[in-house]
Amino acid sequence: MANNPMILFLLITIVISSVSATNTSSKTIDILQAIDEMRKANYFTFVMLINMAPPDFIQENITFLMPKDKTLSQTLISQNDVSDFLLQHSIPSPLLFEHLEHFPTGSIIPTSKPDIVLKANNSGRKSFFLNNARIVSPNICTGSGSIICHGIDQVLEPTTLSSDYHNSTLLPVPPHCPNVTIPPFVVADPPPVMSFPPPAEPVRSGSFNNPTPSWTPPMKSGAHSILQLSDAVVAGLMLLMLV
């Protein structure tokens, strides 16, 4: 019976440990998947730098820019500089190369390290530069969705935001004004079409002395009676001649 409390304590400890391990694995599953993809692409030195960083240093929703092993082997990075190096070689948002292609030349992209930025030079898929480094192996890490990584040909030269303001022109984005309403588009009535009178007929010679009447005046009732009377007289005369 005395061993029962000890056994219960051990069981509780095992359960707590298993829950903690489950939480830890659930938090690091994305970075573990990204590390596996980095290794398959032969970026072993960059994987070593990630493993040298503090356990809670790598967060989700990030894009890593990874120099090749040969380039990193020629770069002196101390233990104290690992975190800064990774911050300068990462973007605090998961960006596929298809997203980066939409950035025009001169665009300023922030890094995970405050005041350190990347300046894009977009000359097409095979000539896309961030500062001095060209992306040579895009979309190496894509499995997790929250951690993206691209291979670059050089170690990034840090560019501060203040110095970049003097060397480049930023295109401001106009702010959204919710209170401004756009008036409705109204089509104006077409202007009135002026109608011209038909051309006048040419005036013939002599038409001023003998104008041609355009209408015949109506016959008066008296003249109509005279015509009827004349017809009656003619008919009477013809009857007398026959007799």
CATH number for the domain spanning 34: value is 2.30.180.10
In a domain, 111, yes or no: yes
In a domain, 178, yes or no: no
- Report pLDDT for 239: 57
- Report pLDDT for 97: 97
Alpha helices in the chain, H assignment, sequence order:
3-40, 44-52, 69-73, 82-88, 97-100, 161-167, 221-242
Q: Give the C-alpha distances (Å, rounded to integers) separating 43 from 15, 23, 61, 73, 82.
A: 37, 28, 20, 11, 16
Quote the pTM value.
Answer: 0.58
Nearest to 123 by CA among 101, 145, 147, 140: 101
**Which positions ≥6 away from 122 have C-beta within 8 Å?**
101, 103, 104, 105, 107, 128, 129
In a domain, 57, yes or no: yes
In a domain, 62, yes or no: yes
Our CA dihedral for 35, 41, 43, 49, rounded to 10 degrees, sits at -10
The parent domain of residue 128 ranges over 22-163
Torsions phi, psi for 53 (to 5 deg): -75, 160
Cα(65)–Cα(117) distance, integer angstroms: 13
- Report pLDDT for 35: 95
Report the 10 Å Cβ neighbour count for 151.
Answer: 23
Nearest to 112 by CA among 151, 158, 143, 74: 158
In a domain, 15, yes or no: no
In a domain, 58, yes or no: yes
In a domain, 211, yes or no: no
Cα(66)–Cα(147) distance, integer angstroms: 13
In a domain, 177, yes or no: no
- Domain count for the chain: 1
- Report pLDDT for 188: 38
Provide the residue-wise pLDDT of the chain in tens; the chain has 243 residues: 445 555 544 554 454 344 334 444 444 789 999 999 999 999 999 999 999 998 788 878 999 999 999 999 999 999 899 999 999 999 999 999 999 999 999 999 999 999 899 999 999 989 999 999 999 999 999 998 899 999 999 999 989 876 555 455 443 333 333 333 333 333 334 444 444 445 455 445 444 444 444 444 455 444 444 445 455 545 555 555 555
